[in-house]
Every structure is written in structure tokens, then in C-alpha cells.
Amino acid sequence: MTVVSPTTFEPRLLVAGDPGLASHVQTYGPLPERTNDDLWSELQASGLTGRGGGGFPTWRKWESVRKAKGRAVVVVNVMEGEPMSGKDRVLVTFSPHLVLDGAELAARVLGASSIRICVAEDQNGPFEALERALGERPRTMATLERLPARYITGEESSLVHWLEDGDARPMFRMDKSTPLRIGRQSVLVQNAETMAQVALVARYGANWFRSLGTAESPGTSLFTIAGAVRTPGVIEAPMGTPIRSLLELAGGTTGVEGMLIGGYGGGWLGREHLDVPYAPASLRGVGVSHGVGMVVALGPDSCGIAEMARVARYMAGQGAGQCGPCVFGLPALADDLDQLWSGRVGNAWSRRMVRHLEQVERRGACGHPDGVVRMIRTGLDVFSADVARHGAGRPCAAHRSPSVMRTPR
């Protein structure tokens, strides 16, 4: 995965250098000797939000664990289940000790008994980078875990479910403000980038952290930029950077027909939204979520219908298999899109697609089906002209073009 260097500010997370501990301390300095109360205050003042997709205020997540009875477990999510995303893989390869610093700070503040770092079983590079880094920290309480490499495994309740009893499927949660538990221990789950950001806040303080980004979404973030750009890869940029600028940092494009924002459970935007800031509130305003920090641009030589169909088929195969919307609804939606892709739709296609979307939306045991519905609804809108052509039996010229999307088996 390529690292694309920013041109307008000094990176914070992806600083060039040896990933070893000595180089890390030389670059960032040792962790300051702050009290737990001081660390807690800085975290609150920083406004740091989770970088794994939820965007929830980090301090609130920690607070729910602090208030829970019993000792805690800190879980670091390095699963990177989104097939097109590479930011966590890049981060733990270039800056593993920044992630470990954040995890150890979290464990200290929460009085945790252990740190468990979850890596997908097919991600050998990140696993080996973390293994080397842990070998330089003989007193660490952190251990590495290898989990099944499936999209759904990266969901936080899936991680906890697997750590407790080896079942990597989401758990139904009525109240997500209540901490997950392993036995009698409450669990904090944060993704790798969030932990690295915690380490920066601890070293440099809330005011420094807020000097980039927006008031609502301060700091920088890692973004995976892919598709019709000249140098696809991972970049670091301030939160609130316009989508157009993110694409320019990746070398620019030869034209944009549509953009998948936030991941396979995210949403599509058209080229008229290129100047929307990449921040939660701005993206919500145009009907998508910020997700995992990802932009996949489709150029004029790609077919949006074909790409949607491929993603829908992949997501149908990645469900937990524990509710009707996943078992029956997602394959039905994938079938509908396959028919549209090929230009072989009957008179009842549109009504059937609407019915299937309504039968799936908000009825799943977890958020996986809703993410697919959001991806399809926004895509049908952005690519409405292609929908009309395909629906009339005249697929666009690009409908047989090679796929931009990765859909691993």
C-alpha cells in the first residue's frame, strides 16, 4: 500500500523513519509523566473522535468503561475489514509504537488487566510489525490475537464475541452506550488509529491536537484514496479537508463520475459534491457517513452499476448469517443488481428492488444489512442515468470494464 505524502502540513502519524522503538522515541519523545486525571482532562478537551468508523467521542467511550464495575480489558482493532482500506495496515507498519503507546495509556487510565490486539489471519505484514514492536517492550501487557479474515469480524462486538468464546459474529445490543464484556470485565474497543491519536494527545496536549481539523472534528486522520486517481494509497490530512483536495493529494483524477465514501457500508456521492469537507457533519448533510476514512473514485471508464453489484454480492457473502435480512435479503438485493448490471430486467424489477430494500432496512440484528442498503440507495441515485439505460436493456459501454473494487473471496 502506497503512502502518499501531504504537501501542505507536517504529518503527525506517518512520520518517515525506522519503525523501531529507539527511532520512535527520538521522533516523538518519551511519554510524559502525566497523572491519570491529567490525561483524562486532555482527552476530553481534545475532542478526539474514534477513527474506526463510528466517530463517537473517545472520552465518552472510555467513561462508560471507567464507570463499569470490575477491571477492564483494552482491545485494539487492527482487523481492517474494509477490502479497499489500508490505513491501519500502513499505520502499524510505519508507527507501531504510537499505537502501542495509546493502548498502554488507555490501560493505565482504565486500570485494565490486559491489552489484546486483534489482527486478521491474512494480514501477516501488520502482525509481524506488531510482533517486532512488542518484542522491544518486554514489560508490556499486550498480546496479539489472530482472527478470521471476514468483513463482519471487525465489528467491535464481533471481536469481543470471538475473544470470549471463539464466535466471530456480532452480538445484538439494545444499548450501545453500555460497555461490552468478557466475563466480568468491561471492554474498551478502539481501532489502531484512535490509539495512535491518544498517544499524540498525551504528548502534545489538546490545544496542539485541535490546531488542525475543524471545531467539531479536530486533528488529522488517515484516508485511503483509491480508484481513478494517479497515485492511490494512504494519506494523512486534517479532518474537514475537501474531498477534491484528498483526491489531489493522491495525484488527482482524469474525471470523476461517482465516489464511494466511507467504505462498502458507506454511500455514493456524485462529482457535484467534490468540495464537501470530509468530516462527519458535512457528509451527513449530503446523505453519507464518514465511515473508515476512504474515497474510491470512479472515472468515465467504470460502470457504477457493475461496481455496486460486485460490492453487494461480496457483502451478501460476508454477513453473520444470524438474521433474515443477512441470510435472504442481501442475496436478493445482489440478484436485483446483477440483473440491472446485465440489462436484463423485467417490468417488475423496480418494485421488487424497492420491496427488498424496505424488507432489509433497520431489520437486521447488526448494522451490516443497513450499510448495504445505504450503499445501494445512494448508488441508484448517483448513477440514475445509468440505471435508466441498463433498465431499458442498453447497458453502458463500461459495464464490462475491469472492477475497481476489491472483493476478496
Percent of the chain with pLDDT over 90: 81
Is residue 180 situated within a structural domain?
Answer: yes
Mean pLDDT across the chain: 93
162 and 81 in a common domain: yes
Q: Give the model's confidence band at 39: pLDDT under 50 very low, under 70 low, under 90 confident, else very high.
A: very high
Residue 328 has pLDDT above 70, yes or no: yes
Domain total for the chain?
3
CA 285/CA 288 separation, integer angstroms: 8
CA 279/CA 111 separation, integer angstroms: 32
Q: Give the model's confidence band at 176: pLDDT under 50 very low, under 70 low, under 90 confident, else very high.
A: low
Q: Give the model's confidence band at 202: pLDDT under 50 very low, under 70 low, under 90 confident, else very high.
A: very high
106-115 pLDDT tens trace: 999 999 999 9
Q: Can you give the CATH number for the domain in which 28 is found?
A: 3.40.50.11540
* 303: three-class secondary structure by DSSP: coil
Q: Stretch 379-402: mean pLDDT, rounded?
A: 94
347 and 255 in a common domain: no
pLDDT reported for residue 273 = 98
Residue 353: domain span:
304-391
Q: Give the model's confidence band at 1: pLDDT under 50 very low, under 70 low, under 90 confident, else very high.
A: low
CA 237/CA 10 separation, integer angstroms: 9
Is residue 366 situated within a structural domain?
Answer: yes
Cell of 339: 440483473
283: which residues sit within 8 A by CB, 6+ positions away? 261, 262, 276, 289, 290
9 and 156 in a common domain: yes
65-106 pLDDT tens trace: 988 877 899 999 999 999 999 999 999 999 999 999 999 999
201 and 72 in a common domain: yes
E strands within 79-238?
112-120, 142-147, 180-182, 185-191, 220-227, 233-238
Is residue 293 situated within a structural domain?
Answer: yes
Cβ contact 290:243 at 8 Å: no
Q: Please indicate, yes or no, whether the overall pTM of this predicted structure exceeds 0.85.
A: yes
74 and 205 in a common domain: yes
Cell of 279: 468530516
CA 46/CA 37 separation, integer angstroms: 14
pLDDT reported for residue 322 = 85
**Which among 399, 406, 386, 20 is positioned nearest to 224, based on CA atoms?**
406
Is residue 376 situated within a structural domain?
Answer: yes
CA dist 369 to 308, 372, 375, Å? Answer: 15, 5, 10
Is residue 407 situated within a structural domain?
Answer: no
- Higher local confidence (pLDDT), 2 or 163: 163
pLDDT reported for residue 151 = 92
Is residue 194 situated within a structural domain?
Answer: yes
Following DSSP, what letter does each residue of 345-396 receive, concatenated? --TTHHHHHHHHHHHHTT-SSSSHHHHHHHHHHHHHHHTHHHHHHHHTT---
* 12: three-class secondary structure by DSSP: coil
Q: Can you give the CATH number for the domain in which 276 is found?
A: 3.10.20.600
235 and 173 in a common domain: no
273-315 pLDDT tens trace: 999 999 999 999 999 999 999 999 999 999 999 999 999 999 9
Q: What is the 3-state secondary structure (H, E, C) of 72-111?
A: EEEEEEECCCCCCCCHHHHHHHHCHHHHHHHHHHHHHHHC
